[in-house]
Amino acid sequence: MIPEAKIEAKKLDFYYGHKKALNGISMVAPKNKVTALIGPSGCGKSTFIRTLNRMNDVIPGTRVEGQIIIDGVDIYSQRIDVVELRRRIGMVFQKPNPFPKSIFDNIAYGLRINGIKAKNKIEEIVEKSLQEAALWDEVKDRLRENAFSLSGGQQQRLCIARSVAVEPEVILYDEPCSAIDPIATAKIEDLIQKQREKYTVVIVTHNMQQAARVSDYTAFLMLGELIEYGETPKLFTNPENKLTEDYITGRFG
C-alpha cells in the first residue's frame, strides 16, 4: 500500500477571503516518492502545493483550516519557524526566477544566509548542486556571468540547483516546465525522477503525460475537492472515478 507519509494533509480547507478554494483535502505525499497534482485550471492544485510550505501566508485575507502534518508536526502550529520550514521545503516555480546576480551567487546566496561562510565549502556546494541539476557542464566556465544570460531551460535548472543547495527534505514544483521547451522539459523530468532518491517531491502540472511520466502517486483535484488519489499507473490506466476518467481522456477540460 502507500508507504510512509512525509507530508499529510488532514481535512484541509483554504479560503481566499470568503471564497473557499480547497474543501476538506485529505491526502499524503509519501516519503521519497513523487506525488503529482493534476486538475483543470482553478481546481486548487497550486493553492494546495503552496499550503505545504506556507507560501500562501503572504497573501492577505487567506485562511487555513485543518492540518498539514510534515514528519508528524503540524506546520500551521504556533511554534513553527516559517523561514526554517521553507529551507526544509524548497520550491521551484512556473517561470524561472533566478536572482539578478551571477550564476555562482544565485546558489551561494542561500548558503551564505544559512550561515555557511567558508569560500571552499561554498564552491564545493555550488558545484555539487549544479551537477545535481545537470547544469554543471553547461555553465562551469561562465559561473561569474549573469544568470539571465542563460536560456529559459537553463535558468529553471539553476533554480533547481539553488533549491537543492540548502539540502531541503521536500521539493515542490509548481508547473516547472510550462514556460520551457520540450528538450529542457525532458531534462527536468529526468531530474525529478532521480530526485526521489533524496527528496520527497510534489509537483503540480497541467501536462497529464508529465504527471504520468514522473510521478509515483497522482491526485486529481476539481473545484477544490480531491476527486481521486492513487498510484499513478492505476490512475492513468483504470481510474475509479468517472470524473477522473473524463478529465484524463480529454472529455472535458
The Cα-based distances of 50 to 10, 37, 107, 228, 238 in angstroms read 15, 12, 22, 20, 29
106 versus 244: smaller Cβ distance to another protein: 244
Stretch that binds another protein, among 30-38, 43-51, 110-118, 240-248 (CB under 8 A): 240-248
Distant-in-sequence, close-in-space partners of 20: CB < 8 Å, separation ≥ 6 = 13, 14, 224
Residue 252 burial (CB < 10 Å; 0-12/13-18/19+)?
exposed
Category of 175 on φ-ψ map: left (φ > 0), alpha (ψ -120 to 50) or beta: left
Q: Is 233 in the site for another protein (CB under 8 A)?
A: no
Residue 182 lies near another protein (rule: CB under 8 A):
no
Cβ proximity to another protein: between 90 and 239 the closer is 239
By CB under 8 A, tell whether 238 contacts another protein.
yes
C-alpha cell at 56: 500562501
Residue 245 binding another protein, by CB under 8 A: yes
100 versus 250: smaller Cβ distance to another protein: 250
* 3-state DSSP assignment of residue 203: strand
Tell the smallest beta-carbon distance from residue 234 to another protein (Å).
Answer: 8
Interface with another protein, residue 237, by CB under 8 A: yes
Q: Rounded distance, CA 130 to CA 132, Å?
A: 5
Q: For residues 86 and 80, give the distance between their C-alpha atoms in angstroms, rounded to a whole number.
A: 11
Residue (95 or 213) nearer to another protein, CB: 213
Is residue 78 within 8 Å of residue 85, measured between CB atoms?
A: no
Task: Tell me the residue length of the chain.
Answer: 253
- Decide if residue 212 touches another protein (CB under 8 A): yes
Among 12, 34, 38, 248, binds another protein (CB under 8 A): 248
CB of residue 246 to another protein, shortest distance in Å: 8
- Taking CB under 8 A as the criterion, the residue among 98, 204, 239, 243 binding another protein is 239
Q: Is 78 in the site for another protein (CB under 8 A)?
A: no
Locus of grid cell 548542486: 129
C-alpha cell of residue 50? 503552496
Is there binding between residue 83 and another protein (CB under 8 A)? no
Interface positions, 190-209, toward another protein (CB under 8 A): 208-209
**Largest interatomic CA distance in the chain:** 57
User: How many positions of this chain bind another protein (CB under 8 A)?
Assistant: 14
Interacting residues with another protein (CB under 8 A): 208-209, 212, 236-239, 244-245, 248-252
